[in-house]
Chains A and B, each alone.
Chain A
Amino acid sequence: MDIQSIHPLVIFFAAITTNNILLTNFLGMCSFLAVSKDLKSSLGLGVAVIFVSTFTAPLNWLVYHKLLVPYGLEYLQYIAFIIVIAAFVQIIEMIIERVSTLLYLTLGIFLPLITVNCAIFGCVLFLVIRQYTFMQSIAYGLGAGTGWALAITALAGIRTRMEKKSKVIAELEGPGIALIITGIMAMAFIGFSGIVKIN
Chain B
Amino acid sequence: MSAGPVKGVAALKRMLWEENPVIGQILGICSALAVTNLVKNTLVMCLGLIFTLMMSCFTVSLLRNVIPRQVRMIIQVLVIAAYVIVIKIILDAYLPEISNELGPYVGLIITNCIVMGRTEGYAMNNKPGDAILDGIGAGIGYSLVLLPIAMVREPLGLGTFFGMQLLPPDWTKWNMMVIAPSGFFALATYIWIVRAFKAGEGKR
Contact = CB atoms under 8 A, between A and B. Distances in A.
A33 B26 contact: yes
Contacts of B34: 25-26
B110 to A, nearest CB: 6
Interface string A71-112: 000011111001100100000000000000000000000000
From B73, B104, B182, B199, name the one whose CB has the most chain A CB atoms within 10 angstroms: B104
Given A118-B108, A125-B108, A184 B81 contact: no
28 contacts: A26-B32, A26-B183, A27-B31, A27-B108, A30-B29, A75-B88, A78-B81, A78-B107, A78-B110, A82-B110, A115-B73, A116-B77, A116-B113, A121-B108, A125-B103, A125-B108, A170-B199, A171-B199, A172-B192, A175-B188, A175-B191, A176-B188, A177-B188, A179-B185, A180-B184, A183-B183, A186-B180, A190-B181
Interface string A157-186: 000000000000111100111011011101
Interface in B21-53: 26-34
Contacts of B147: none
A182 B31 CA distance: 16
B15 interface: no
Given A78-B107, A183-B184, A186-B181, 10 more contacts: A26-B30, A26-B183, A30-B113, A33-B26, A78-B85, A78-B110, A172-B195, A177-B188, A180-B188, A182-B184
B84 interface: yes
B188 A121 contact: no
Given A117-B111, A125-B108, A27 B81 contact: no
Closest 10 CB pairs of A and B: A183-B184, A125-B104, A179-B188, A118-B30, A171-B195, A186-B181, A26-B33, A118-B111, A175-B26, A183-B181
A24 interface: yes
A118 B187 contact: no
Interface of A: 23-30, 33-34, 75-79, 82-83, 86, 115-118, 121-122, 125-126, 129, 169-172, 175-177, 179-180, 182-184, 186-187, 190
B128 to A, nearest CB: 23
User: Does more than half of chain B's interface fall in helix, strand or loop, or is it mixed?
Assistant: helix
A124 to B, nearest CB: 9
A176 B104 contact: no
A122 B181 CA distance: 19
Contacts of A116: 77, 111, 113, 116
Interface residues of B, number: 42
Contact of A30 (B28, B179, B182, B187): B28
B89 interface: yes
Given A26-B33, A79-B82, A170-B199, A129 B103 contact: yes
B129 to A, nearest CB: 27
Contacts of B166: none
A129 B191 contact: no
Nearest to A123: B104
Contacts of B187: 179
A122 B82 CA distance: 17
B98 interface: no
